[in-house]
Amino acid sequence: MNIQSLMQQAQKMQKRMAALEAEFKTETFTTEAGGGAVKVTMTGDMKITNIEFSKDLLSDDPEMLTDLFTAAVNQSIETVRKEKENRLSKLVGNKINGFPGLF
């Protein structure tokens, strides 16, 4: 394999990764905390678009609300991060195995 061929493959991979990144940003992910008491919807570029609280939670315990809200947001961030890493790993295949968290 020559250097020119490697460069062409790298450019193709870069274009596919850019397309995947653009597509990923348009997707939404919803996660729950407290058995559905708090739901957070977040885009692929980690912008929160919606937060839902159960009616019972709003009237009961403000401290619990804060804890569940924090847990739900953190879970959303982790869900989006893992999904992005999974998709990028599929795109580049075995080339990044051994480099967890690269993306």
Domains of the chain: 27-91 (3.30.1310.10)
Average pLDDT of every residue of the chain: 81
pLDDT for 13 beyond 60: yes
Contact between 76 and 40 under an 8 Å Cβ cutoff? The reply is yes
* Euclidean distance between CA atoms 54 and 72, whole angstroms: 13
What is the chain's length?
103
Confidence label for 17 from pLDDT (cuts 50, 70 and 90): confident
pLDDT for 57 beyond 70: yes
Q: Which of 23-27, 28-32, 96-100 has the lowest mean pLDDT?
A: 96-100
Q: Tell me the average pLDDT across 59-86.
A: 84
pLDDT for 11 beyond 60: yes
